[in-house]
Amino acid sequence: MIKMEKDILQIENEKVESQLIINSLTPENCEFYETAGGFAAIKVGDKDYGHINIIRTFPFSSLWEFLSVREVEGKQEEIGIIEDLNIFDKPTFELIAKQLEIRYFMPEITKIISIKEEYGHAYWSVMTNKGKCSFATAAGSSGAVTKKGNRVIIKDSDENRFEIADITKLTTKEFKKLDLYL
Amino acid sequence: MELNAKLETKKLNKLREVTKDEPVYCIPIDLTKDGNFTVDSYVGATKSGVFVFEDDVLSYYSFQKIEKAFNRVQTNGTLLTALVDGEEIIIARCSMRYVSGIASLARGINILLKGNTERRVINNDREKRCRKCGRVLPGTVSCPKCDKSGGNLKRFLDICKQNKAYLFIIVCFMLLDAVIGISKEYILRFFVDEHLVTGNGTVKDVMLFFAAYFGIIIIGLFIFYIKSYFCGKMGVKVVHQLRGRLSNHLQRLSLSNLNTRNTGEIVERVMGDTNRVRHFFNGTFCSTFNQVFYIIGVVTIMLIMNWKLALLTFLFMPLVIVFTKTFWPRINKIFSNLWRKIDGIQNKLQDVLSGIRIVKTYGREKSEIDEFCKANESHAEINYKNEKFFAIFYPIITLIFSFSTYIVIYAGGIDVLKGNMTPGELMQFVAYTGMLLGPLHSMSYLPRDIVNMTTSLERIYDVLGEKPGIVNEENPLKHNVKGDVEFKDIVFGYHTHQPVLDGVSLEVKAGEMIGLVGPSGAGKSTLINLVMRLYDVDEGALYIDGMNIKELDVEHYHSQIGVVLQETFLFAGSVVDNIRFARPDATMKEIILAAKAANAHDFICKLPDGYNTYVGEKGHTLSGGEKQRIAIARAILNDPKILILDEATSALDTESEYLVQQALERLRKNRTTFAIAHRLSTLRQADRIAVIDDHKIAEVGTHNELLKNKGIYYNLVMAQLQMNKTADS
């Protein structure tokens, strides 16, 4: 019984210790590959984790740094962290970028066609890099449109996000439409 | 949320070419697999497979190839994936708009895959958009645009009907107000034409005119006061009626209803929306509708007096309306920007003052001052810009508003010189032109005010029209509970796309104490919420003494349940009010006996006013342990057959815990007890322990059985032992 207790404690301690360090994933200690279904997967040493989740730890400030690589099932334990994706080769970069694009789907608005206010909501009709789309934001909500420098992030009533990368590139007419919400 | 969107015939025929089965589920999607926006695209399932229409392109996956479906929620959007031939592939992709539908679809597919073709997944999530026009519903069931039943107008008229006596008085005084306002100018005209222009006037005439004009102004003020008084009274009465109905109804709604809205939203409807209706009666109704009488009267008289001049005056009216409408959004933005900045400064200040100890401890005073100064400067800058704008805006708007007056003076002056008009008539005309411009300006806001009021009414009646999620079935049983509880294959989630309990089964005998352990968020509190029937299960069934809980009379069943939670909430009132809460007819003796059993009597006696001591907010402050013992006394008084203890002792110091534990042991005798505890030592009295992990019951057994199994419970016990050892050393 005492021995068993010690084993458990050792496992618990190791678990706690492992949580204190950053298990850095580099091209030397891991290999990313694409599953037949189009998902990113990873092999670390002899262990093949299969399909993984890749999460940006700083989704607004660092797009390609400190990416948390996690298991998909169960408690979604962290496998490791990619400190800088740029150190990986091009196919790996592209594979992970594709996964991140799906996870952080944020179409870039290239043209504001119209913004109409009705019944407390602003209805946007826009052209994005992913095609034409329409969405609605709560008209009185101060959190719906946020501006940082020249970049604007719009959160719609369904919690989708849209981006205007550079508002200086909008036409005067488009800017006037947007200006009421900035 | 609807899971059966209608496929157009062309698509349906295309689907029929690959399968003879009709769609069981069908959900619209807005993205292609490549992540491009699409319209008229759908994903769904028949009894034999999954179909996806990306525009008109059909992909079909037979169930013979699919093992399992998943809803893989991403940060912005979701993926419907499936294990096809052992490989997980993306079936369909959509934005967050359809995430709930996709979650239900994945569940539905998995049920179909198990061969159960009759059972259907129901999605209870609230529709966010109107199915007909796609507009966002402002937290209501019906769409303010598409609801053509005349609902809001009918509601408004109903409110008016309930207060018709007030309404009659108000309309009468509105008419009088308009008559007085208009006739005032007649007296002026008479005075100018008869006494000033002719030169026949005397000082006595001037005095008489002064007295008459002054008198009419005083009468006008009196009428205005009466009208405003009744408008205000009507507004208050309407708000009183609506708030009363809302609060009554909210009490009858179940938690499942209330959880679909946050507390702020409910408070906003009871306070904010009703206030907006009151403002409409006090403001818009009282002043703007009054203006309608003015406009009708003034326009009629102007046309009769000099129709040509009148038409010339009206020419400029649309310009005033267009100008007001054009600049309104800009002015709106100016004010909202200013308020946002003021909010920013206030929040910053509140932040710094609330966290002043942390700021000082970390020596961050300078940076905090800098940030505050920055926010302050930005506010000053906005203020300066606004002042500059208004300095230009107001003169321009005054100029535009005065155009009609200038025209009247010019054209009317010529008419006077030609002898077609008297100077008094011209003065009267100029005064009427001014009277017309004011109401026109405020009338341009009327549509907005009406929309605001009807939207508020819509939101109020949306709550009033909501049926409680938990209601008695026909002929409910008033069953005296013995205490047998059975969970059978229970699936439940507060939101359909996030099941909190997934296939939970457990049988509990009457009088048994069940300890519930497991990590936070595993579903322990949810399980007892179901026992308390605060929610109904999504799938499966919960039996009490062999009867489905849904067959029991809700109120009667609730009266047989006792609850002691981690944070005891005491209502504003005396100690005795709080103990008596569960049984208002309890005698003094019964209350003291219950308090004694709860180890509460002694400390209550020491309170300044004994059992009559006022507690609750701004009342006498009780410690956590004292509050808990009052809650236990409340539960003892109720003599519950099923007892719920949710972390009842976790927030207490050792001495309080001992007293509370003693009281709880007395309380739980001969009652079926469900006890949640993170500190496992508090569950040593439990007959059995259920470990809930990953939304399921992972282990059930006595303390010794679970230790022998060396599973999750064993690990938890060992980890706590180690923690205690570390703390002791």
| Residue B83 pLDDT greater than 80, yes or no | yes
Clarify whether residues A96 and A121 are in a common domain. no
Structural Rg of chain B based on CA atoms: 36
Select the highest-mean-pLDDT range: A163-172, B183-192, B655-664. A163-172
CB–CB contact A157 B128 (8 Å): yes
Q: Do A38 and B144 touch (CB under 8 A)?
A: no
Cβ count within 10 A of residue B185: 20
Q: Alpha carbon of B358 to those of B1, B53, B347, B368: distances in Å? A: 46, 57, 17, 11
Token pair of B92, please?
A: 């369909």
Tell me the C-alpha distance between B463 and B459, whole Å. Answer: 7
Do A21 and A99 belong to one domain? Answer: yes
Asked if residue B399 lies in contact with residue B308, where contact means CB atoms within 8 angstroms, the answer is: no
Chain A residue whose CA is closest to B328? A180
**Does residue B729 surpass a pLDDT of 80?**
no
pTM: 0.67
Nearest-by-Cβ selection for B37 from A4, A102, A131? A131
- Cβ–Cβ below 8 Å for B75 and A132: no
- Does residue A14 carry a pLDDT above 80? no
Q: What does the block give as tokens for B255?
A: 């938690």
Structural domain total, chain A: 2
Nearest C-alpha of chain A: how many angstroms from B37? Answer: 5
Q: Tokens standing for A130?
A: 């992913």
Interchain contact A45–B (C-beta under 8 A): no
Give yes or no for residue B120 having a pLDDT over 70: yes
Question: A–B: how many Cβ contacts below 8 A?
Answer: 104
Is B305 in a helix, a strand, or coil? Answer: helix
Among candidates B35, B135, B718 on the partner chain, residue whose Cβ is nearest the Cβ of A102: B35
State how far the Cα of B47 lies from the Cα of B24, in Å rounded to an integer.
7
| Domain B151-464 coded CATH 1.20.1560.10 | yes
Q: What is the mean pLDDT of residues B221-226?
A: 91
pLDDT at A54 exceeding the cut of 60 = yes
Q: What does residue B262 show for φ and ψ, rounded to 5 degrees?
A: -85, 165
Cβ contact A12–B715 (<8 Å): yes
Q: Tokens for B394? A: 């107001």
CB contact under 8 A, B88 and A4: no
Residue of A158, A159, A176, A178 to mutate, interface with B, max B Cβ within 10 Å: A158
Quick one: pLDDT at residue B726? Answer: 63
Q: Least CA distance to A123: which residue of chain B?
A: B135
Domain hosting A14: range is 2-103
A44 with A133, same domain? no
Q: And the tokens for A24? A: 């850095």
- DSSP 3-state helix, strand, coil percentages of chain A (rounded to 5)? 25, 40, 35
Give, in words, the CATH class of B562-639: alpha beta
CA pair distance B632, B630, nearest whole angstrom: 5
Report the side by side order of strands in the sheet with B485-492. B501-508, B485-492, B539-544, B547-548
List the beta bridge partners of residue B260.
none
What are the strands, taking DSSP E only, across B368-500?
A: 485-492
Average pLDDT, chain B: 84
Residues A137-167 pLDDT 10s? 876 555 688 888 888 999 998 889 999 999 9
B89 neighbourhood in chain A, CB within 8 Å: 36-38
- Beta bridge partners of residue A54, listed in sequence order: A69
Round to the nearest angstrom and report the end-to-end CA distance of chain A.
Answer: 66
What is the chain A residue with the closest CA to B87? A37
Q: Which of A103, A124, A147 is the last residue of a domain?
A: A103
Cβ of A161 within 8 Å of Cβ of B710? The answer is no
Residues A94 and A114 in one domain: no
pLDDT single digits (tens) B175-211: 998 888 888 888 888 888 888 888 777 888 888 888 9
List the 58-117 stretch of A: residues with Cβ below 8 A of B. 59, 72, 74-75, 101-107
All structural domains of chain B with their residue ranges: 9-113, 151-464, 472-560+672-729, 562-639
| Among A103, A124, A153, residue at a domain's last position | A103
pLDDT at res. A107 = 94
User: What fold does the segment set B9-113 form as a domain?
Assistant: PH-domain like (2.30.29)
Q: What are the pLDDT digits (tens) for B124-165?
A: 777 788 878 888 876 667 777 777 656 667 777 888 888 888
Same domain, A56 and A93: yes
Phi (first) and psi of residue B321, to 5 degrees: -65, -45
Return the C-alpha torsion angle A43, A44, A45, A46, nearest 10: -50
Of the partner residues B76, B87, B719, the one whose CB lies closest to the CB of residue A104? B76
Q: Which fold has domain B472-560+672-729?
A: Rossmann fold (3.40.50)
B472-560+672-729 and B562-639 have identical folds:
yes
Torsion angle of the four alpha carbons B716, B721, B722, B728, in this order, in degrees rounded to the nearest 10: 150
> Residue A170's domain is classified under what CATH number?
2.40.50
Residue of A10 and B78 predicted with greater confidence: B78
- Together in a domain, A71 and A88: yes
pLDDT classification of B721: cutoffs 50, 70, 90:
confident
Check CB contact under 8 Å for B37 and A160: no
Residues A47 and A113 in one domain: no
- Asked if residue A99 and residue A13 are part of one domain, the reply reads yes
* Tens digits of residue pLDDT in B359-406: 888 888 888 888 888 888 888 888 888 888 878 877 777 777 777 788
User: Is the CB of residue A122 less than 8 Å from the CB of residue A137?
Assistant: yes
Give CA–CA dist A16/B529, Å, rounded: 33
**Cβ contact, residue pair A105, B95, below 8 Å:** yes
Nearest-CA neighbor of B155 among B237, B238, B39, B269? B238
Task: Tell me what ipTM this predicted complex has.
Answer: 0.89
From the CA of A95, how many Å to the nearest CA of chain B?
A: 14
Burial class (CB in 10 A: 0-12, 13-18, 19+), B445: middle
**B77 Rama class: left (phi>0) / alpha (psi -120 to 50) / beta:** left
Give the H/E segment covering residue B90. strand B87-94
| Residues in A touching B36 (Cβ below 8 Å) | 130-131
Residues 129-148 (B) with a CB less than 8 A from some CB of A: 134-136, 138, 144-145
A175 with A167: CB under 8 angstroms? yes
**Do A117 and A131 share a structural domain?**
yes
Q: Are residues A97 and A141 in the same domain?
A: no
> Which tokens in the block code for residue B185?
């100018």
As separate numbers, helices (DSSP H) first and strands (DSSP E) second, chain B gives 23, 19
Subunit contact A12:B30, Cβ cutoff 8 A: no
Buried b / exposed e along B457-481 (16+ C-beta atoms within 10 A):
bbbbbbbeebeebbebeeebbeeeb
Do A79 and A124 lie in one domain? The reply is no
Q: Which of B75, B342, B457, B713 to mutate to test the interface with A (most CBs of A within 10 A)?
A: B75
With CA atoms as reference, the chain B residue closest to A136 would be: B136
Nearest to B542 by CA among B602, B484, B462, B475: B484
**DSSP secondary structure code for residue B286 in this structure:** I
Looking at the fold, whether A67 and A126 belong to one and the same domain comes out as: no
- Residue at a domain's end among A103, A129, A150: A103
